[in-house]
Amino acid sequence: MTVTGLPTAVELIEVSPRDGLQNEPEFVSTEKKKELILQLSKSGFKRIETTSFVHPKWVPQMADAEQISAYCNELGITYIALTPNVKALERALSVGAPEIAVFIGASSAFNQKNINRTTDESLAECAPLFALAKQKNVFIRAYVSTAWHCPYQGPVSFEEVHHVVNRFVELGADEIDIGDTNGEAHPQEVFETFQRLREKYPKAVFVGHFHDTSKLALANTYAALQAGIDKFDASAGGLGGCPFSPGATGNVATEDMLTMFDKMGITTGVQLSRETVAYAKSLSTRL
């Protein structure tokens, strides 16, 4: 039975191959990554975030981005590749990636610490990237990191979030992913943020991305549902956590979200087996 006023169906975007594995200290073989992607594609996910074209010096786990993308093309699946700059986007375009993702923190302290740029400097650098992606008809997923709390700054204001979202809307993002990067958000502020964003940008598509550091990821998901959000990121086995955010533990586990949505009568179109969850967990040395 569904709760009145909540979405009756949601889209889950599986992020374990990229966000889940990117911070693993030991390289996960390309073949094992391919097997994970294959199992996930058979589970009913319409979109999977599979790799990153960030320079291997910074994230060596993603050094096989071209090989992974070629495999996804063979499978015929819709996949998302992280492209932090124009050079990364050019690599993604060269292998035919259908969707790309970009990240900017709402917290200037976060951006300054990790990429030595202010928020405005980061946004300025996004303009040519968005323009090229639009020219090539590539779907753009724009992440707003540290949307509620920052490990360096502390609480993040709605105005800071709105500043980044507004620019993403102007640049033509196809969807905007609001991230609780270090897992410190609580349901009340999650509801308020999404409610205000949807009021300001009724035509924009928003996605919820929650980490389970404070064991509030499912509660925050429910709060986002109440605010009308019907797209969420999730990671099989709870793999992952931001490598540039100290103390952030794993993403919300896909299997936990599926259990909650199933009990609430909310359709996902996904059937994730215990074997696939176990396989995902087997790839991590951090769980």
Q: How far apart are CA 223 and CA 191, in angstroms?
A: 5
Beta strand pairing call for 149-150 and 99-105: unpaired
Residue keyed to tokens 């790799």: 51
Respond yes or no: is residue 242 known to be catalytic: yes
Distance, in Å, from the CA atom of 261 to the CA atom of 51, rounded to the nearest integer, reads 27
Q: With b meaning 16 or more CB within 10 Å and e meaning fewer, what string describes 137-173?
A: ebbbbbbbbbbbbbbbbeebebebbbbbbebbbebeb
d(CA 271, CA 11): 13
**Host H or E run for residue 88:** helix 86-94
Map residue 26 onto helix, strand or coil. Answer: coil
The total number of residues shown for the chain amounts to 287
Kindly name the residue from 72, 126, 150, 242 that is annotated as catalytic.
242
- Residue numbers annotated as active site: 242
